[in-house]
Structure 1
Amino acid sequence: MALSHVNQHGEANMVDVSDKAVTTREAVAEGILSLSAEALEQVQNNTAAKGDVLAVARIAGIQGAKQCANLIPLCHPLALSKVDIEFTIDTAKSQIITRCRCKLNGQTGVEMEALTGVNVALLTLFDMCKAVDPAMTMSHIRVLQKQGGKTGHWHRNE
């Protein structure tokens, strides 16, 4: 299978989606922030110096998904109909699992928007907690599932 963003001359180009059918398209991406127990406790108790960490990261993730085409050069600007950011706190592993779900009726998928939303939310979590734990790590950033378009439904098998 050929790369879709490379033309017959090997040059980068934006894919023409004008002949694709408009379908409901949805994607879910996830990433994990590992942080110290102290930083996680501040997030959970809403006592971080910068304020409500999860609320700010949620809004940042939504904004990030909406700005995807401004950040990734060959992405199409999309009119997203829904962006959800959700957080799951795993105290046993001292992690915040972040998921972004993006949805629209359109001619191209929303995987990049979901991935951008997750990354911006994770970066915001990092920014809000770095004074307490500068050694945090972000990992396992990936698409979990996508649906719509000619390929239908796909989900990660793990």
Structure 2
Amino acid sequence: MKDFSHLDAQGNPSMVDVGQKAVTKRTARARSLVVLPEEVMTHLESNDIQTKKGPVFQTAIIAGTMAAKRTDELIPLCHSLGLDNCRITITTDGHDAIVDCTVSTEGKTGVEMEALVGASVAALTIYDMCKAFSHDIVIKSTQLMEKSGGKRDFKREA
């Protein structure tokens, strides 16, 4: 049975000691799915939703990028990481907005949480900017899709 990595021998919260780990290229991609009702989709033009507040997806990309860079301020036991890259894309498929956040760094610990936070905040921004049209927006899921560069690589089958 595996132990929780963020608990010490006495069961107290503890940051993982990465001091002895090797620096490697770390990447992760997370995805959030946002279900948009017809009242929102009617405002889709040129691959973005246009509102009085501005272009929704462009704003969500900026918000998600800012959040990914500040993950250690939001998740208490995350390490502070300087990201080499953060790329967020938002596409639509029917009534779904698909938010993909891919992050990378050269470091001693992974960037899964940064990718998950970036995708989550981008999804929340879509909700915030579109709630004037409908409160029936649903953030259906947020999940890690793939990661590489640590003890083990992971890739979720689509």
Matches of 2:24 and 2:3 in 1, distance apart? Answer: 24
Q: CA deviation at 1:59?
A: 0.2
The Cα shift of 1:51 comes to 0.9
State the match for 2:51 in structure 1.
48
- Counterpart of 2:11 in 1: which secondary structure? coil
What displacement does 1:90 show? 1.0
Q: Cα offset for 1:50? A: 1.4
Q: Counterparts of 1:44 and 1:80 in 2: how far apart (Å)?
A: 32
Q: What is the alpha-carbon distance in structure 2 between the residues aligned to residue 107 and residue 15 of structure 1?
A: 11
**Paired residues, number:** 155
Conserved in 2, the CA contact under 8 Å of 1:43 and 1:53?
Answer: no
**Higher-strand-fraction structure:** 2
Partner AA of 1:73 in structure 2: P
State the superposition RMSD in angstroms: 1.2
Deviation per residue, 1:53-112 (Å, 9 max, x gap): 111000001001001000000000100000000011112xx1101010010000000000
TM-score by length of 1: 0.94
Matched, 1:95 2:70: no
Aligned partners of 1:53 and 1:28: how far apart in 2? Answer: 21
Alpha-carbon distance change, 9 to 122 in structure 1, aligned in 2, over 3 angstroms: same
The code of the aligned residue for 2:150 comes to G
> Could you tell me how far 1:122 is from its partner in structure 2?
0.4
Q: Is the 8 A contact 1:21 1:149 kept in 2?
A: no
TM-score, length-scaled by structure 2 = 0.94
Distance across 2 between alignment mates of 1:98 and 1:69: 21
Equivalent residue runs for 1:3-152 within 5 Å? 3-45=4-46, 46-91=49-94, 94-151=95-152
Residues 82 and 104, structure 1, Cα contact 8 Å, conserved in 2: yes
C-alpha separation in 2, matches of 1:28 and 1:127: 23
Tell me the SS of whatever aligns to 2:135. Answer: coil
Cα displacement (A) at 1:154: 1.0
Q: CA deviation at 1:134?
A: 1.0
Q: Percent identity?
A: 40
TM-aligned CA deviation for residue 44 of structure 1: 3.2
**1:26 Cα shift?**
0.2
Unmatched tracts of structure 1, length 5 or more: none
Structure 2 unmatched ranges of 5 or more: none
Q: Secondary structure at the match of 2:50?
A: coil
Displacement of 1:157 in angstroms is: 3.1
